[in-house]
Structure 1
Amino acid sequence: MATVDETLKGALEIEGAIAAALVDYESGMCLGSAGGGTLDLEVAAAGNTDVVRAELRTLQRLGLDDTPEDVLATLGTQFHLIRLLQSKNGQGLFLYLVLDRGRANLAMARRQLTVLERGIEL
């Protein structure tokens, strides 16, 4: 099991990673972050909270009894990946990962983020 800081450090080791954060999507609060450079992870956490809430509302309105695993935004130079934590103690949280599109392998990043999510101790 890994701490939040260890998990975020591990996320930054993913090829092409620029920034990572653990976010509570009920409050929009960033519980931990790593990397980022000029990217304001507090703003990103709040904005992506809106994205997660909208996705959950849409699934509910569609009558789908399911939960999203990942939400992906593709930009010209970056991938923004949101991984909702599936563990019982991770309910209401998501891992947010920003990747350099030119250096990242999206499929591998998703796989590695899933492994990190399973090992996080909250």
Structure 2
Amino acid sequence: MSLILLVEDNEMNRDMLSRRLQRKGFRVHLAVDGAQGLTLAQSEHPDLILMDMSLPILDGWEATRRLKADPATAKIPIIALTAHAMEGDRQQALAAGCDDYDSKPVDLPRLMEKMLRLLPLSNNSRSP
């Protein structure tokens, strides 16, 4: 069973998405800000990270750059989640090191497609 780290400061979004992912068979760890997301990624080595970009303490852009710069976490796929649906945001997310980008509100079938495409790239696959 794959471990997903969901880094999201909005409680309603975090609860809704984590429940939906758990129903799909994923284990989900939660972080409420970029600093906590960075710490959990380094300690838990999730199979994939869903990273909100607008986070307190340490934003998702910087958290992603730090994760991708660390050899221990560089290969963990990261999907940027943002309510900013402007054309430049996708390029900015990819430039920060994200492996893909998805806009909010989350469309679960679309997000699942992106997640399933990236999960085999993980070093620490826990899939059955």
TM-score (norm. length: structure 1): 0.30
Greater relative contact order structure (CA < 8 Å, 6+ sep): 1
**Between Structure 1 and Structure 2, whose CA radius of gyration is higher?**
1
Return the structure number with greater helix share.
Answer: 2
